[in-house]
Amino acid sequence: MSNDNSDGKRVGVVFNIQRFSVHDGPGIRTVVFLKGCSMRCRWCSNPESQNKEPEIAYNIHRCLGVRHCGRCIESCTDNAVFCDENGMILINRSYSSDIFRELVEICPTKSLILYGKTQCVDEIISIVEQDSVFYFRSGGGITLSGGEPLLQREFAVSLLRKAKQHRIDTVVETCGFISWETLREACTYMNRILFDIKTLDPVKHEEYTKTPLEPILDNFNKLKETYPELPISVRTPVVPGFNDSPEEIRRITEFVQKYKDTTHELLPYHRFGSQKYSFLGRKDEMQKYLHK
Ligand code: SF4
């Protein structure tokens, strides 16, 4: 158990803070996106959320190239950024993100992006508090999202506890694939939980998310038994070729309807994040399934 002071100073890695959100819990909210995820969903639209550490991304479409700029290469003394014989900028992603921090600052076109920043709880709470008046009027507050926000257990719990001390409404959006102990501790400081159930087919779940379904449903049942008063919104992203059949959705809806005070929300599938895969030097696995 941390005291007030140690909570405020606790640090974690955050990749975005989105103010004035109306889709992630009641009212107007500030959504804090924590880096790191326990799943690898094929359709993930936030690939920058998956790894725990800050990571470098490069948008070739914005880059002025070596002939017209080349500042990154001139400033980089250790080959983390270099160019090939055709003048193409190449990134050695095995270097620590600290090496890239300065290069991101000097890039005039923001072609270099560092996803993830180490921030402390007090710093985040002071950003969140700027919109207190809107929370008060709309019933909003702070939402922790990711990735899987509870993967950074101590940081997430400190954020929630601190928000509670400041009388800010708290919501956590979880994929459910997390230890029960972590979930149980975090629930003590939550006003609502958004819990993803993507499919009830265990084989499909494992194939598309690289994680088993059973521990998620176990957590869901324990949550209902241990915190019967905690409102739960089950969320299902509707993904083409995965769960977009009426039977599949009906199965999840019927499962949810067995529980009191539990709502079910369908989330539309989108491809807004697909470009980020190439920025991060990764393959977008969903492409080949969409174009079959
Ligand atoms: S500093 Fe930015 S714009 Fe200039 S060459 Fe490097 S990545 Fe491209």
Residue 233 has phi, psi (to 5 degrees) of -110, 115
User: Where in the sequence is the domain holding 73, given as residue range(s)?
Assistant: 55-115
Q: Look-up: residue for tokens 């509670």?
A: 164
pLDDT digits 0-9 by tens, 6-15: 999 999 999 9
Residues 68, 147, single domain; the answer is no
Contact, 56 vs 93, CB < 8 A?
yes
Residues 15, 102, single domain; the answer is no
Contact, 115 vs 139, CB < 8 A?
no
Rounded Cα–Cα distance for residues 133 and 92 (Å) = 45
Which tokens sit at 280?
């991060």
Where does residue 25 fall: left (phi above 0), alpha (psi -120 to 50 degrees), or beta otherwise?
A: left
Residues 103, 130, single domain; the answer is no
Residues 103, 146, single domain; the answer is no
Helix, strand, coil content of the chain in percent (nearest 5): 40, 20, 40
| 173 to 226, 245, 279: CA distances (angstroms) | 18, 24, 26
Residues 220, 166, single domain; the answer is yes
Any ligand 1 atom below 6 A from CB of 107: yes
Q: Give the pLDDT confidence score for residue 260 in this predicted structure.
A: 85
Rounded Cα–Cα distance for residues 199 and 234 (Å) = 12
Residues 104, 158, single domain; the answer is no
Residue nearest to atom 1 of ligand 1 (CA): 107
Residues 110, 151, single domain; the answer is no
Domain boundary among 115, 130, 161: 115
Rounded Cα–Cα distance for residues 221 and 225 (Å) = 6
Domain with 9 in it: what CATH number?
A: 3.20.20.70
Q: Give the pLDDT confidence score for residue 261 in this predicted structure.
A: 84
Cα(126) to ligand 1 centroid in Å equals 33
**Residue ranges, the chain, pLDDT below 70:** 1-4, 288-292
- Residue 110 Cα: closest atom of ligand 1: 2
Residues 181, 240, single domain; the answer is yes
Q: Give the pLDDT confidence score for residue 205 in this predicted structure.
A: 97
Q: Give the pLDDT confidence score for residue 77 in this predicted structure.
A: 87
Residues 190, 81, single domain; the answer is no
Any ligand 1 atom below 6 A from CB of 80: no
Residues 73, 171, single domain; the answer is no
Among 271, 13, 1, CA closest to 148: 13
- Residue 103 Cα: closest atom of ligand 1: 1
Rounded Cα–Cα distance for residues 27 and 191 (Å) = 13
Q: Is the peptide bond before 147 cis (omega within 30 degrees of 0)?
A: yes
Any ligand 1 atom below 6 A from CB of 226: no
Residue nearest to atom 5 of ligand 1 (CA): 70
Where does residue 20 fall: left (phi above 0), alpha (psi -120 to 50 degrees), or beta otherwise?
A: left
3-state SS of 150-178? HHCHHHHHHHHHHHHHCCCEEEEEECCCC
Domain boundary among 115, 131, 148: 115
Cα(7) to ligand 1 centroid in Å equals 39
Domain boundary among 70, 95, 115: 115
Cα(109) to ligand 1 centroid in Å equals 7
Q: Domain tally for the chain?
A: 2
Residues 103, 15, single domain; the answer is no
Contact, 244 vs 238, CB < 8 A?
yes
Any ligand 1 atom below 6 A from CB of 75: no
